[in-house]
Amino acid sequence: MIHGGAGSMRPGSLDPEMEKAAHDGLGDALDAGEQVLAKGGSAIDAVEAAARAMEEDPAFNAGRGSVLAHDGHVECDAAIMEGAERRAGAVAGLRTTRAPISAARAVMEKSPHVLMGRGGAEEFALEQGLEQVPNTWFVTPERRRQLDELLARGSEAFDAEIKYGTIGAVAVDEAGHVAAATSTGGLTAKRWGRIGDSPLIGAGTYADDRAAAVSATGLGEVFIRAAAAHEVCARMRFCNEDLQSALDAVLAEIGAMGGTGGMIAVAPSGEAAWSFTTPGMYRARCDARGTRQVAMFDSTSER
C-alpha cells in the first residue's frame, strides 16, 4: 500500500495532465513494490522500491519535484523501519542526496544511529556511495511557481489550500514481517530548518510486527504531538482495536488538535487500511489475491 500525499485536491481541481501524472506515478510505484513481493522479497525491500519510484517522479513532493523552502532550495526528509526487530533509519534536511529513502536505509543498516541531519547525513550518504546531485536537480518549474505565488502573499502562514505531498509505503511479506517508508520535501516556503513528522520514528513512520506498519501524511507538527504512527500500533496492541478503527481514532484525535491528513497501514496478518480527513489522498494498494486499486479523491477508482 502506498500514498502520495493528502490535501485539498478534489475532482476537477487539478490540471488534467497533473492528475494523470500522479495517477500513473502511483501505479508505477505500486508495480515497483509489488514486483519485489511477488518474487518472495522482503517488506523492507518493497517499501524502499516503491518510495524510490515516487522520489524519482516529479509528480510527488519527495526527491525530484519536492517543494521549495523559503530561500528557494529543496530539503528532503525520509525514514524507513522494519517490524521484526524494530530497526529504523532516518535523515533530515538533505540537499544533494538523490535517494533520501536509500540514505535512511543506510543509516539503519550501516550506522549505530537512527536519525542523521543536514551536512552530517549528506556526508554519511556520500561515504555509503549514494549518488549526489546539485540541489537544482530536485527543482521543477511548477514547484518554483508555487513558492513564488506563496511568497507574493506576504504571509508566514501555511497555504490554506495546501496539499501535504509526503509519499509513503507499507508492506507485509510472505514471512509476515511488516515495513514502512516515508519521504518528503516538507512544506512550501518552510523556514529555519523546519522538520516535520516524516523522519521522526513514531510520528510519521513506524513498523512493529506485533501490530502494523504505518506511514502518515499531513500537518506534521500535529502528527508529531500525537505520536501518530506509534499511537495506531499502541491502540491495536493495548486496546485490541482493528486496524481501520485505530487509524480513524488517531486521525480524529489529530483533528481535535487542529490537524488534518491521512495514514496508510498494514498488519502482519495482511489486513490493510487507509484513512484520511482531507478531501483527497493519493493512494494505491495491491495484494496476493489480485486486488489492485489506485485512487486520488474521496471516491475510489480501479486502475
Does residue 303 lie in a domain region? no
Neighbours of 269 (CB within 10 A): 11
Does residue 160 lie in a domain region? yes
Does residue 72 lie in a domain region? yes
Does residue 89 lie in a domain region? yes
Give residue 298's pLDDT: 76
pLDDT tens digits along 31-66: 999 999 999 999 999 999 999 999 999 999 999 999
Selection from 153, 257, 247, 215 nearest residue 2 by Cα: 215
pLDDT tens digits along 159-193: 545 666 799 999 999 999 999 999 999 999 999 99
Asked if 81 and 207 count as a contact pair (C-beta separation under 8 A), the reply is yes
- Which residue bears the cell 544533494? 96
278 catalytic per annotation: no
Domains in the chain: how many in total?
1
**Domain range holding 200?**
2-297
Does residue 19 lie in a domain region? yes
Residue 206 has pLDDT above 90, yes or no: yes
> What is the pTM for the complete model shown?
0.95
Annotated binding-site ranges for substrate:
194-197, 217-220
Domain of 82, CATH number, reads: 3.60.20.30
Selection from 231, 226, 199, 198 nearest residue 212 by Cα: 231
Q: How far is CA 177 from CA 30, 78, 212, 215, 266, in A?
A: 18, 21, 9, 16, 10
Give residue 164's pLDDT: 64
Choosing from 166, 182, 188, 278, which is the catalytic residue? Answer: 166
Residue 302 pLDDT grade (very low, low, confident, very high; cuts 50, 70, 90): very low
Does residue 302 lie in a domain region? no
Residue 1 pLDDT grade (very low, low, confident, very high; cuts 50, 70, 90): very high
Rounded CA-CA distance 48/55 in Å is: 10
